[in-house]
């Protein structure tokens, strides 16, 4: 059987494959420490679970409008209006099964052959995959270790031309844990305006800052009319399996993106949406507690990594990933991932899972207990010293 040619353009997210390899070893009886996958190890707070149960008992078990239940869009819009200090209409909110479809739908509705898209590299692998799938040309915006894993804006300026349709920014960043400085966000906004390009601002880690608070490219003048904000509940409320994300769209994208939702998934799970209201409107204490614990884990992990031979790890300012430079160990990224898994039972990801500029690095998630992080550091020490 012959697949459609476009399937050869579609990439994947290797984190799921690495997880499957690690799980297979665990099934053989190996003691595995999972530092590969990008999700909080916390349980979804119980008040959110309870509201989903009430929603199920109340009959939220049917189709709902494609763009989302209006009451839920209103709750998200109200919360976003507070966060962004701006009046955001519920009409501009589209709810999707997780934040990922916002990339998919945004890129599908905007990009075609001949269009160029700047995207962070190392970066979330689905950006590049979707740009290619839509027929566009991915233009990697390299994140440099020397700039705290941020782009060199002189380089970016040279990469922008009349074909540049979309610029993707992701701050805090997966996989580097970096945060784009405000001055750079402003410069990117000016470059986007000058090129008449649209911006996809992936802000899914907006609650995960360790030394500062969230800054958005939408803060700069007129950016709302050309920016799609990607957000969702997966990370902040440990709700990755619930599949609730959303986008804040400029007016011209509301109808086409809603049509894509209708054509693909119809709508997002109704009871998950109702539970999302409880997550957003209740006390944010559980989010703050989780982030405080992640900060302790970050410090433990990064200080430990920097004591290991051949490893240099800058301190991540956001998200829950460390992105150590492992080039001093003599291994390539993929060798390091493979050898560390087979020899020590630690599952982590090669930097190249996030694009070609990830060579020489690995991503280590600190969404795991302090005990497991200590244990992993001990195993890594034995591996590197042996
Ligand atoms: N954007 C980034 C940068 C991510 O790391 C992820 C998940 O890992 C997502 C978006 C998608 O999240 P969701 O699980 O809500 O689809």
Q: For 152-207, how does the pLDDT look when each residue is reduced to its tens digit (9 = 90+)? A: 999 999 999 999 999 999 999 999 999 999 999 999 999 999 999 999 999 999 99
Residue 205 Cα to ligand 1 middle (Å): 9
CA dist 4 and 26 (Å) reads 36
CA dist 15 and 38 (Å) reads 8
The single-letter DSSP state of residue 386 is: -
pLDDT in tens, 59-98: 999 999 999 999 999 999 999 999 999 999 999 999 999 9
Taking 90 as the threshold, does the pLDDT of residue 16 lie above it? no
Q: Is the peptide bond before 175 cis (omega within 30 degrees of 0)?
A: yes
Sign of the CA dihedral running 57, 59, 62, 68: negative
> SS3 for 323-337, per residue?
CCECHHHCCCHHHHH
Which residues have C-beta within 8 Å of that of residue 67, sequence separation ≥ 6?
A: 73, 93, 94, 95, 254, 258, 261
By the 8 A CB rule, do 93 and 247 touch?
yes
By the 8 A CB rule, do 230 and 204 touch?
yes
The residue that leads in pLDDT, 237 or 13, is 237
Residue 139: predicted pLDDT: 98
Residue 354 Cα to ligand 1 middle (Å): 13
* pTM summary value: 0.97
Residue 228: predicted pLDDT: 98
Residue 132 Cα to ligand 1 middle (Å): 19
Which of 65-69, 141-145, 219-223, 273-277 shows the lowest per-residue confidence on average (mean pLDDT)?
A: 219-223
pLDDT in tens, 283-325: 999 999 999 999 999 999 999 999 999 999 999 999 999 999 9
Residue 15 alpha carbon, nearest atom of ligand 1: 8
Residue 234 alpha carbon, nearest atom of ligand 1: 15
Residue 335: predicted pLDDT: 97
By the 8 A CB rule, do 216 and 201 touch?
yes
Residues having CB within 6 Å of any atom of ligand 1 = 38, 98-100, 124, 170, 174, 202, 204, 232, 234, 240, 245
Taking 90 as the threshold, does the pLDDT of residue 17 lie above it? no
pLDDT in tens, 317-367: 999 999 999 999 999 999 999 999 999 999 999 999 999 999 999 999 999
Give me 4's structure tokens. Answer: 């459609």
The single-letter DSSP state of residue 220 is: S
| DSSP element (H, E) containing 273 | helix 270-281
In whole angstroms, how far apart are CA 261 and each of 71, 105, 227, 245, 276? Answer: 18, 8, 19, 13, 19
Residue 15: predicted pLDDT: 83
pLDDT in tens, 43-58: 999 999 999 999 999 9
What is the pLDDT confidence band of residue 386, given thresholds at 50, 70 and 90?
Answer: confident
By the 8 A CB rule, do 351 and 14 touch?
no
CA dist 110 and 145 (Å) reads 31
Give me 203's structure tokens. Answer: 């802000």
């Amino acid at each position: 059987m012959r697949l459609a040619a476009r399937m050869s353009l579609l990439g994947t997210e290797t984190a799921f494959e690495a997880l499957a390899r690690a799980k297979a070893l665990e099934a053989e009886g190996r003691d595995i420490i999972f530092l590969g996958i990008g999700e909080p190890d916390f349980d979804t707070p119980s008040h959110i679970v309870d509201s989903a149960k009430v929603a199920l008992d109340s009959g939220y078990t049917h189709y709902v409008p494609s763009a989302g239940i209006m009451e839920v869009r209103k709750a998200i819009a109200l919360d976003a209006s507070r966060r962004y200090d701006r009046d955001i209409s519920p009409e501009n909110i589209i709810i999707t099964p997780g934040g990922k479809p916002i990339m998919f739908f945004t890129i599908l509705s905007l990009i075609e052959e001949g269009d160029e898209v700047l995207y962070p590299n190392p970066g979330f692998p689905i950006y590049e995959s979707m740009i290619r799938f839509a027929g566009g040309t991915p233009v990697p915006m390299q994140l440099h270790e020397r700039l705290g894993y941020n782009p060199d804006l002189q380089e970016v300026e040279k990469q922008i031309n009349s074909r540049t349709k979309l610029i993707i920014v992701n701050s805090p960043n997966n996989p580097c844990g970096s945060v784009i400085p405000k001055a750079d966000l402003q410069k990117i906004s000016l470059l986007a305006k000058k090129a008449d390009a649209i911006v996809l601002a992936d802000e899914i880690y907006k609650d995960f800052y360790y030394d500062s608070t969230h800054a958005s490219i939408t803060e700069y003048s007129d950016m709302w009319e050309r920016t799609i904000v990607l957000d969702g509940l997966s990370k902040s409320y440990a709700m990755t399996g619930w599949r609730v994300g959303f986008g804040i769209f400029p007016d011209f994208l509301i109808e086409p993106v809603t049509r894509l939702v209708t054509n693909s998934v119809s709508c997002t799970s109704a009871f998950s949406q109702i539970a999302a209201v409880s997550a957003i409107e209740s006390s944010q204490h559980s989010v703050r507690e989780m982030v405080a614990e992640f900060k302790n884990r970050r410090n433990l992990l990064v200080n430990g990594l920097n004591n290991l031979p051949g490893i240099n790890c800058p301190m991540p300012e956001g998200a829950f990933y460390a992105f150590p430079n492992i080039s001093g160990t003599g291994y390539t990224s993929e060798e390091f991932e493979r050898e560390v898994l087979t020899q020590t039972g630690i599952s982590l990801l090669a930097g190249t899972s996030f694009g070609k500029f990830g060579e020489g690095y690995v991503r280590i998630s600190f969404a795991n207990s302090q005990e497991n992080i200590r244990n992993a550091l001990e195993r890594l020490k034995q591996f590197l010293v042996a």
